[in-house]
Amino acid sequence: MKTTLYLARHGQTKWNKVQRFQGQLDSNLTQVGKQQSEQLALSLANQQIDLIVSSTLGRAVDSALICQRILNTPIARLNDLTERDLGSWQGQYIAAIKSDENYHEILHQFTEITPPSGESAISCGSRIYQALKELANNHCNKNILVIFHGEALRCFLAKLGHNSTDNAYELFDNACLLPLTYRHDDDSFQLAR
């Protein structure tokens, strides 16, 4: 038995466009972001998506609602899929934060170091892992579109052993799609190749 999770990042937002950290804050989708969300749904039109699950943050919900209109599929929101809490870096422009001595380690590596008042990559990765595992176990043999966030996706993949020295912006375009299989017999996630 297996469950297929189509992991996707939300469409482009106003803050993405100006390279401003959102974390668990929010900004609206741009027109491009809305079009990206439409394209995401159209790319899955032949996959028989049984459910769309999104983070509870507005940008993910808005992307999910666009996909729902096209795929005509039920939608659910899951708080545990929210973006990594970037603490006091949230709302700041990336250019202003890059000078922090821990910037690279916090956003390019998988460590316990946190942004000021924020969440570590390891904690975020574990949170996303548990949320996706529970989702898969509750929807055995289904196809689920999961719309959430770039940094949370980076942390989750690092927990699976797919480490990179790139940051989430470099790794994941808005509305990118990453198929993932959860195999129930051995309790494991596998990226589709």
Q: What is the CA radius of gyration of the chain?
A: 16
Residue 59 among known ligand-binding residues? yes
- The residues pairing with 144 across neighbouring beta strands, listed in sequence order, are 5, 51
Instruction: Please tell me whether 58 is known to bind a ligand.
Output: no
Flag whether 14 is marked binding.
yes
What is the C-alpha separation between 97 and 154, in angstroms, rounded?
A: 19
Strand partners, 139: none
Catalytic-residue membership of 10: yes
Three-class SS state of 61: helix
Tokens coding 89: 């870096």
Was 111 annotated as part of a binding site? Answer: no
d(CA 13, CA 173): 12
Query: In the annotation, is 83 catalytic?
Result: yes
Q: Is 154 annotated as a binding residue?
A: no
DSSP code of residue 99: T
Cite the annotated binding site for substrate by residue number: 9-16, 59
Q: Which active-site residues does the annotation give?
A: 10, 83
